[in-house]
């Protein structure tokens, strides 16, 4: 049987994912010494890992070229979910928040507000839920710059320690939702390789519970 293929988000979530896979007894030496290889064998050959940017993890899983994926809830909330989300992996904990320049009341006044975000869909849904008509401008990175430059009244972004906001004179106006890493599964794989996927998810769940 060909290995189950799992797409892992490289960067922030990578280390914690490798540690979790090792805790369930899988040899991850190829992931630890990956060099420039893009598809890496994990464990005894029953699993194969691909390292990708978060939005691409979702693309690969949706298209079924990867059976499973590890990706942040932030990316899932932004991109939508035409796949199964089967496990909260407990790491990569942070949150979405609306942040504004210190001392500013975003919800005051009648003039139209502008918000910058790397997450326009999350932002739009948040303001729709508040029945607020807010203009949203998509920014690709360091979105904290937008209010500092006078482009936006606030930002919707990920907050982990709060250090980036603080160092740039911003503060949380409202927390929107919690975020953590999730295990996602292609919908066809969920049927065709149910037993293997359930066994892997079961081991991961147990390892997560034992650590808490
Ligand atoms: C995220 C986010 C903030 C920062 C928050 O950026 O966009 O800038 O982390 O973390 P903190 O609350 O601990 O300061 P990231 O480093 O992921 O880079 P990005 O700008 O490319 O999204």
Whole-number Å distance, alpha carbon 159 to ligand 1 midpoint, is: 7
Domain(s) labelled CATH 3.40.190.10 in the chain stretch across 4-92+180-211, 94-177
What the block records as the tokens of 8 is 């892992």
pTM, two decimal places: 0.94
Q: Average pLDDT of the chain?
A: 96
The whole-number pLDDT of residue 99 equals: 98
Helix (H) / strand (E) containing 48: strand 47-52
Q: How many residues does the chain have?
A: 212
Which atom of ligand 1 approaches the CA of 142 most closely?
A: 20
Q: Mutation test of ligand 1: which of 140, 164, 166, 181 has the most ligand atoms closer than 8 Å to its C-beta?
A: 164
What the block records as the tokens of 179 is 């975020």
Instruction: For the chain of 212 residues, list the mean pLDDT of each consecutive stretch of 10.
Output: 95 95 96 91 94 97 98 96 96 98 93 96 97 96 96 98 97 98 98 97 96 71
What the block records as the tokens of 82 is 């035409």
Q: How far apart are CA 21 and CA 35, in angstroms?
A: 19
Q: Ligand 1: which residues within 6 Å by Cβ?
A: 141-142, 157-164
Whole-number Å distance, alpha carbon 76 to ligand 1 midpoint, is: 17
- CATH 3.30.230.10 is the classification of domain 4-92+180-211: no
C-alpha atoms less than 13 angstroms from C-alpha of 161 in its C-beta half-sphere = 4
Tell me the per-residue pLDDT of 15-37, one tens digit each, with 9 for 90 and over: 999 999 999 999 999 999 988 88
Q: Angle at the Cα of 75 (from 72 to 76), degrees rounded to 5?
A: 90
Would you say 186 and 83 are in contact if contact means Cβ atoms under 8 Å apart?
Answer: yes
Sort strands 47-52 and 84-88 into parallel, antiparallel or unpaired.
Answer: unpaired
Q: Mutation test of ligand 1: which of 140, 145, 158 has the most ligand atoms closer than 8 Å to its C-beta?
A: 158
The CATH homologous superfamily for domain 94-177 is: Periplasmic binding protein-like II (3.40.190.10)
The whole-number pLDDT of residue 212 equals: 64
Tell me the per-residue pLDDT of 73-102, one tens digit each, with 9 for 90 and over: 999 999 988 999 999 999 999 999 999 999
Whole-number Å distance, alpha carbon 158 to ligand 1 midpoint, is: 6
Q: Tokens 């507000």 correspond to what residue? A: 113
């Amino acid at each position: 049987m060909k290995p189950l293929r799992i797409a892992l988000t490289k960067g922030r979530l990578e280390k914690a994912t490798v540690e979790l896979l090792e805790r369930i007894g899988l040899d991850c030496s190829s992931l630890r010494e990956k060099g420039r290889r893009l598809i890496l064998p994990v464990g005894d050959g029953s699993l194969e890992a691909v390292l990708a940017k978060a939005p691409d993890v979702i693309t690969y899983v949706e298209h079924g070229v990867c059976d499973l994926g590890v990706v942040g809830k932030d990316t899932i909330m932004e991109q939508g979910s035409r796949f199964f989300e089967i496990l909260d992996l407990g790491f990569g904990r942070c949150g979405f928040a609306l942040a504004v320049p210190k001392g500013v009341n975003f919800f005051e006044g009648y003039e139209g507000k502008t918000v910058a975000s790397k997450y326009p869909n999350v932002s739009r849904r948040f303001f729709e839920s508040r029945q607020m008509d807010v203009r949203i401008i998509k920014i690709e990175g360091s979105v904290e710059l937008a209010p500092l430059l006078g482009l936006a009244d606030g930002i919707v972004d990920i907050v982990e320690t709060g250090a980036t906001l603080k160092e740039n004179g911003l503060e949380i106006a409202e927390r929107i939702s919690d975020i953590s890493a999730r295990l996602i599964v292609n919908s066809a794989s969920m049927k065709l390789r149910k037993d293997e996927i359930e066994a892997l998810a079961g081991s991961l769940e147990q390892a997560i519970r034992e650590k808490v």
